[in-house]
Amino acid sequence: MLTQSRTIPTVFIAFFLACLLNTTISAQGQAANPNSQTSFAPTAGPQYVGSDTCKTCHEDQYKQIEATQHWNTNLANLKKGTGQEWHGCESCHGPGSAHVEGGGDKSKIFSFKGATAQQVSARCQTCHGTTHPDFQRSVHYQADVSCITCHSPHQAKEQVALLKAKTPTLCYGCHTDAIADFNRPFHHRVNEGLVQCQDCHNVHGSLPKAAKISTAQDQICLKCHTEKRGPFVFNHLPVKTEGCTACHVPHGSNNPRLLTRNNVNNLCIECHGLSTFLTLHNQANKYQACTMCHVAIHGSNASDVFFK
Amino acid sequence: MKANSNRIYSSPPRCLEATKKESGWRVFRRVMTLAVAGAVLCLSANLAAQQLGVDVTSAQQESGTDLGNYHTNFDIEAGYRFVGTEGNASMYSTWVNMQQGPRILSSDLSMRSLNHDGFLFDRLNMSSFGYGGDPETATRLTVSKDKWYDFNFTYRHDLNYWDYNVLANPLNPVNPYVVVNQSPHLMQPSRDFQNYDLTIMPESRLRFRAGYNYNGSQGQTDTTFHAGTDILLVQPWRVTGQTYRFGADYRIFSQTTISYDQTFDTFKNDTFQVDQNQMFSLQNGTPVDIGLPFNPAAGLPCSTPFINGSYNPKCNGDFSYVRSGPVRSFLPTEQISLHSSFLKRVDLTARYAYSSGYSQVTNYLEEFNGLESRTNQREFAFTGPSNTKRVLDDGDFEGTWHITNKLAFSEAFRFYNSRSPGTLDSVGTSCFPNGGTSLLSGIGVFNSPGVSPQICLNGSGTPVHTGSSPADVDYVNYYRYLNLNFKYNTADLEYTLNRRVGGHIGYRYADKQANSNNNLSNTDAGTAYFYPNDAQRGAPCTQTLADGTCVVMTPVVTAGDYYAITENWGILGVWVRPMDTLRLNGDVEIMAANGAGGVLFTRIEPRNLQHYKLRGRYTPKKWLAVSGTLNWIESQNTGPDTDGTITANHHDHNHYAGFDISMTPRELISFDLGYDYNNVVSTTDVCVNLGTPSLAADPCYADSNGANTFAIWHYQNTVNSVYFNVILRPTKRTAFAAGYYLVDSTGSDPLFLPTTGIVTVANPLQPLGSLSSLYHTPSASLAFALAKGWEAKGMWNYYDYHERGNPGPILPRDFHSNTGTIAVRYAF
């Protein structure tokens, strides 16, 4: 079995290298990706005018940008060997000469307002593509949620990451179901500020979708709940095959321990209530809680029935 | 520093004139003084989520001040919290746990270099909250210097009190009345999380990353152990996980980056368990733990626990119990990844991770001294090392082909393959009484020359066994293996009709295979020694030693379970923006699963699933936003079970609907209102032991000799949540906020017995607890500006929890609490 499973990484690495080779070859003779920076390179059309020209009319916006890291694009030595398309306001809005010559004609320059997520993310990814390479494969992107839905380069409320609001307030704007979840009696301490949405979720996209994985490639829950990670000699199989959410509701619940059912026995018997399961204990007057004996239900190194 | 001059228009670089460096020692000294002061304040203070109610002036509105080359904003809030609680204090601590005392409620510091070229850093943002005794404490720091480094630090401290007395409670009958008011699985550890992340040269072609995580948890917890009865154990909790991370990204050419990451995850668990609950005594005065369940009618701890006021020595009991087994785990992981959007119309991302590690317990020891009446064990010990390896391959590849500007096709493949062989080489030894079944009996000796170890040497006489007694000495070599081989493939076609409408349609295929020999029907390699001339409890002797000791050797049988499950998913998503102010998103996922032999991993794993999501956000005005969500999940499993005569016939739904309205029509008022509805219903056919024999016509009768009864388990939970928040700023110097949150939960979990038509519950002593409850939390806060930068603040929170119906044979969990906080805020 070990040998057989090795074929997967071998094939994968081969494919990986093939992609790399293909990319290298293609780089020599093809035009750039529409998502790459050169798609905004100067053409025969509008020319770059420089941020100081923009400031003439857009002083407020300039001041806002000046207080952020984006202003650093004005520094000439930021990207050695790159052109003016990397600099200042026009690094995001594109060349502005036509806009200036048109007396501020909004149709002559790229405006983020009203642009699709596809267009917005293409602009932002020019610089941030390395940091968030999977955004265009994210659930947010597919739902036409763009970078500026959450981030505001000009009017950020939060200096860190230029967010429009603090998390979780920002996330609650769309995910109203999470508001209810995190106000349930039993909940992860998100509203209290201890846990943040991005601790578990990769909002910029990943595989698997939505939830992160830990550094050891486990479910993200095990990043904090390390004692349940194992590996164990004796495994409770659904913990591994279906994950934590087979029994727990991660955001919040009216049931203790964020369980999907109000008492442990209901939860256990749904799976273990087989007609041949003779050892199923009397539910009426003793052994009221399965986990009273089966305390190591997530996995054990000493008991095949999870007693210790 | 020079701004770009390669432009066709030019204008004076006014922005640069204002950012001259104020270089030299003076600047350095001021910066360092401020940084140190900020650090001290923030490490002893708190902000963010714990900020007290409303502010007259938000931190962002403060103009800040220029200190040296840094524009600085600072904010600190300190005060005193008063708490008054009535009712179940444990529940208050489990859910709220705000205690009385002085607090530095929050603090924020942000600094940015005026000329974008600071000496040590260009930007620094730090926020913290909860210092001084709040249950949640955190500090988050980000520091960066443009192209040189980015540094992120997080410290979090959590007082994790947990005592919900329904869980794991034996729910002893009222008469005789021995009540267990505290959860036997109480937890009150504190947890510390630290996270350090450093990126060096973040904007360069080659950048380096390093990081460290610390996750430590320690404190008092309780647990239980089954030894005839269920004894309460004190469990000093001490768990530590650490992660070291190193990595590098290399931009091999434009828009193409290859990354390598190396992580080392370590884990140690030094938690141990000891019985300190010897609350009763025998007739001779010896303290004994009689266990938590007390139901003589059901034989717990026995039918006649007390004789003449002393504990009956023939009952289950425990003089001492201790268990320790330090765990050490090490999981190094290597990951290589590639991201490229260099090709004209193709984006590629690929990742492969390999992890090979282990978990070991080298010094496992468990010792019991008492009486387990069923097996007649007076003492037992269990030891043996365990070792589990884990080898894991995990990777994914995703490519997106932008066929046109409107049409794209993406293909994503992910695989996860883990192999986890584990062994436990255990030695179990048992000592049996040299007389009758009694806590007062001594133990007999077993010193057969052919058996090692010789046990019970501090005893005398002959051990007495029963038909249920385990072997005197039992060597068992457990071999376990778990292989998970999961593959997922998703093909998706995305289309953007115009800026108003778009969507995607796709197909996902999942192939999930599991090989497990973790089932209880396995036979592990073992050698058991039974005392000479005593019953070998049914097993034929493989060998009989010279002194008559019976040896039973069992060969290992590794046949295990094999699952092969396939899932077929249809995926559809549509987004619509009929106008700039309205956004609607709809998603549908439909899944059908099947397994080898028709069997899935569990009886309730969905065989068919439908998931519908609808989200909308309408912002007709800048000051008005209406959001709504509909989340509808239906799942069924009506296929065959792994064994037995009944099927699960499982039906489950989770319906959610809610909306939120936020209004800020003027600066002096803002309003937030929301409502959420959630309904969960689940029905499952089960065979359950209800303590009375089932009828011959019962589908569960034949397989269980009448022990189990066929039942349809119905779980239902409806939660209605309502909330509002209002903020008023009647004058420039005052602000007022009020809020209210209500969680109204109703539910039930009855059993319907089709054979007899009876509707019942499994255990009438089991309360519904929080399933049927009302929890509401109003709050109000007031802020008054005393002078520029200074505010006086006050906040009141009320927590009221009430359970409907029978609280069970234990302390009710209802509570209500008033929390008042006064504070002073200073900001610049």
- pLDDT tens by residue, B132-151: 999 999 999 999 998 899 99
Lowest average pLDDT, out of A17-21, B22-26, B336-340, goes to: B22-26
Q: Are residues A225 and A288 in the same domain?
A: yes
Residue with tokens 């937030």: B672
Confidence (pLDDT) at B642: 65
Please report residues of B whose CB lies closer than 8 A to that of A52: 3, 9-15
Distance from CA of A216 to the nearest CA of B (A): 6
User: Is residue A143 a part of any domain in this protein?
Assistant: yes
Q: Do A142 and B494 touch (CB under 8 A)?
A: yes
Confidence (pLDDT) at A10: 52
Closest by Cα among A218, A248, A1 to B359: A218
Please report residues of B whose CB lies closer than 8 A to that of A234: 422, 424, 478, 480, 518
Question: Please, which pLDDT band fits residue B598 given cuts at 50, 70 and 90?
Answer: confident
Q: Do B583 and A179 touch (CB under 8 A)?
A: no
Confidence (pLDDT) at B61: 60
* pLDDT tens-digit readout, B439-490: 999 999 988 888 888 899 899 999 999 888 999 999 999 999 999 999 999 9
| Reduced 3-state DSSP string for B82-133 | EEEEEECHHHHHHHCCCCCEEEEEEEEEEEEECCCCCCCCCEEEEEEEEECC
Distance from CA of B255 to the nearest CA of A (A): 6
CA distance B217 to B158: 9
Confidence (pLDDT) at B9: 37
Domain boundaries, given as residue ranges, for chain B: 14-121+128-142, 347-358+384-601
B399 and B338 Cβ atoms separated by less than 8 Å:
no
pLDDT at A84 over 70: yes
Distance from CA of B540 to the nearest CA of A (A): 24
Question: Please, which pLDDT band fits residue B403 given cuts at 50, 70 and 90?
Answer: very high
Q: Do A38 and B224 touch (CB under 8 A)?
A: no
The count of residues in chain A is 308
The DSSP secondary-structure symbol of B410 reads E
Percent of chain B with pLDDT over 70: 91
User: Is residue A152 a part of any domain in this protein?
Assistant: yes
The count of residues in chain B is 828
Interface test with B, best of A190, A270, A281, A297 (most B CBs within 10 A): A270
Q: Where are the alpha helices (DSSP H) in A102-154?
A: 117-128, 139-142, 147-150
- Structure-block tokens of residue B778: 């109003």
The whole-number average pLDDT for the span B738-767 is 92
How far, in Å, are B516, B562, B565, B611, B711 from residue B600 at the CA level? 14, 10, 6, 20, 21
Distance from CA of A299 to the nearest CA of B (A): 11
Question: Please, which pLDDT band fits residue B311 given cuts at 50, 70 and 90?
Answer: very high
Nearest to A293 among B226, B646, B707 (CB): B226
Distance from CA of A58 to the nearest CA of B (A): 13
Q: Do A270 and B686 touch (CB under 8 A)?
A: yes
Interface test with B, best of A7, A28, A33 (most B CBs within 10 A): A33
Please report residues of B whose CB lies closer than 8 A to that of A142: 492, 494, 504, 573, 575
Distance from CA of A185 to the nearest CA of B (A): 7
ipTM for the predicted complex comes to 0.89
Distance from CA of B76 to the nearest CA of A (A): 17
User: Is residue A127 a part of any domain in this protein?
Assistant: no
3-state secondary structure of B242: strand
The pairs formed by A72-78 with CB atoms below 8 angstroms and a separation of 24 or more are A72/B116, A72/B122, A72/B146, A74/B3, A74/B4, A74/B15, A75/B1, A75/B2, A75/B3, A75/B116, A76/B2, A76/B3, A76/B4, A76/B5, A77/B2, A78/B147, A78/B203
Confidence (pLDDT) at B555: 86
Lowest average pLDDT, out of B50-59, B434-443, B742-751, goes to: B50-59
Confidence (pLDDT) at B534: 64
Percent of chain B with pLDDT over 90: 71
pLDDT at B65 over 60: yes
Q: Are residues A76 and A106 in the same domain?
A: yes
pLDDT at B253 over 60: yes
Q: Do A246 and B628 touch (CB under 8 A)?
A: no
CA distance B408 to A33: 14
Confidence (pLDDT) at B521: 66
Q: Do A33 and B344 touch (CB under 8 A)?
A: yes
pLDDT at B410 over 80: yes
The DSSP secondary-structure symbol of B695 reads P
pLDDT at B728 over 90: yes
Nearest to B129 among A160, A193, A229 (CB): A193
Q: Do B484 and A72 touch (CB under 8 A)?
A: no
Instruction: Please spell the DSSP secondary structure of B491-548, one letter per residue.
Output: EEEEEE-SSSEEEEEEEEEEEEEEEE--STT-B-EEEEEE-TTS--TTPPPSEE-TT-
Nearest to A255 among B346, B390, B770 (CB): B770
Lowest average pLDDT, out of A81-85, B206-210, B248-252, goes to: A81-85
For the CA atoms of B335, B340, B346, B350, the dihedral, rounded to the nearest 10 degrees, stands at 0
Q: Do B684 and A270 touch (CB under 8 A)?
A: yes
Q: Do A133 and B349 touch (CB under 8 A)?
A: yes
Task: Give residue B385's Cα distance to chain centre.
Answer: 28
Beta-carbon contacts of residue A28 (< 8 Å; ≥ 6 apart): none
Confidence (pLDDT) at B645: 73
Nearest to A30 among B4, B249, B343 (CB): B343
Last residue of a domain, one of A168, A200, A232: A200
* pLDDT tens-digit readout, A180-223: 999 999 999 999 999 999 999 989 987 666 677 877 778 889 99
The pairs formed by A67-70 with CB atoms below 8 angstroms and a separation of 24 or more are A67/B71, A67/B112, A68/A153, A68/A156, A68/A159, A68/A162, A69/B122, A69/B123, A69/B144, A69/B146, A70/A153, A70/A162
Beta-carbon contacts of residue B389 (< 8 Å; ≥ 6 apart): A231, B356, B357, B358, B419, B420, B421, B422
Mean confidence (pLDDT) of chain A:
80
Closest chain A CA to residue B345: A33
Cis peptide bond N-terminal to B433, omega within 30? no
User: Is residue A164 a part of any domain in this protein?
Assistant: yes
Instruction: Please spell the DSSP secondary structure of B653-694, one letter per residue.
Output: EEEEEEEEEEEEEETTEEEEEEEEEEEEEEEEEEEE--SSPP
Domain total of chain A = 3
Distance from CA of B303 to the nearest CA of A (A): 13
The DSSP secondary-structure symbol of A201 reads B
For the CA atoms of A179, A180, A185, A187, the dihedral, rounded to the nearest 10 degrees, stands at -50
Please report residues of A whose CB lies closer than 8 A to that of B15: 51-52, 55, 62, 66, 74
Phi, psi of A106 (to 5 degrees): -65, -25
Question: Please, which pLDDT band fits residue B644 given cuts at 50, 70 and 90?
Answer: low
A97 and A48 Cβ atoms separated by less than 8 Å:
yes
User: Is residue A58 a part of any domain in this protein?
Assistant: yes
The whole-number average pLDDT for the span A278-292 is 71
- Structure-block tokens of residue B165: 């007395």
* pLDDT tens-digit readout, A226-245: 999 989 999 999 999 999 99
Q: Do B691 and A184 touch (CB under 8 A)?
A: no
Q: Do A5 and B485 touch (CB under 8 A)?
A: yes
User: Is residue A68 a part of any domain in this protein?
Assistant: yes
**Burial of B554 per CB tally in 10 Å (0-12, 13-18, 19+):** middle
The whole-number average pLDDT for the span B17-33 is 38
Closest chain A CA to residue B680: A260
Percent of chain A with pLDDT over 90: 39
* pLDDT tens-digit readout, B148-200: 999 999 999 999 999 999 988 888 887 666 788 999 999 999 999 999 999 99
Nearest to A235 among B125, B300, B518 (CB): B518
Q: Do B226 and A116 touch (CB under 8 A)?
A: no
Please report residues of A whose CB lies closer than 8 A to that of B358: 231
B201 and B149 Cβ atoms separated by less than 8 Å:
yes
Question: Please, which pLDDT band fits residue B63 given cuts at 50, 70 and 90?
Answer: confident
User: Is residue A273 a part of any domain in this protein?
Assistant: yes
Q: Are residues A104 and A144 in the same domain?
A: no
Nearest to A275 among B130, B645, B765 (CB): B645
Q: Do B255 and A35 touch (CB under 8 A)?
A: yes
> Residue A93 sits in which domain range?
46-111
pLDDT at B203 over 90: no
Question: Please, which pLDDT band fits residue B756 given cuts at 50, 70 and 90?
Answer: very high
Confidence (pLDDT) at A25: 39
Q: Which amino acid is it at B324?
A: S
3-state secondary structure of A6: helix
Residue with tokens 């007389």: B435
The whole-number average pLDDT for the span B753-758 is 92
Mean confidence (pLDDT) of chain B:
89
B561 and B517 Cβ atoms separated by less than 8 Å:
yes
Distance from CA of B361 to the nearest CA of A (A): 8
Please report residues of A whose CB lies closer than 8 A to that of B719: 180, 184, 254
Question: Please, which pLDDT band fits residue B800 given cuts at 50, 70 and 90?
Answer: very high
CA dihedral (B597, B599, B600, B606) positive or negative: positive
pLDDT at B741 over 80: yes
Confidence (pLDDT) at B475: 95
Please report residues of A whose CB lies closer than 8 A to that of B354: 9
pLDDT at A11 over 50: no
User: Is residue A17 a part of any domain in this protein?
Assistant: no
CB atoms within 10 A of CB B787: 8
pLDDT at B716 over 90: yes
The whole-number average pLDDT for the span B707-721 is 94
Closest chain A CA to residue B586: A143
Q: Do A19 and B494 touch (CB under 8 A)?
A: no
Nearest to B116 among A72, A180, A235 (CB): A72
Confidence (pLDDT) at B447: 84
Nearest to A184 among B502, B711, B743 (CB): B743
Instruction: Please spell the DSSP secondary structure of B554-591, one letter per residue.
Output: E--B---EEEEEEEEEEEEEEEEEEETTEEEEEEEEEE
Closest chain B CA to residue A224: B215
The DSSP secondary-structure symbol of B79 reads E
Distance from CA of A95 to the nearest CA of B (A): 10
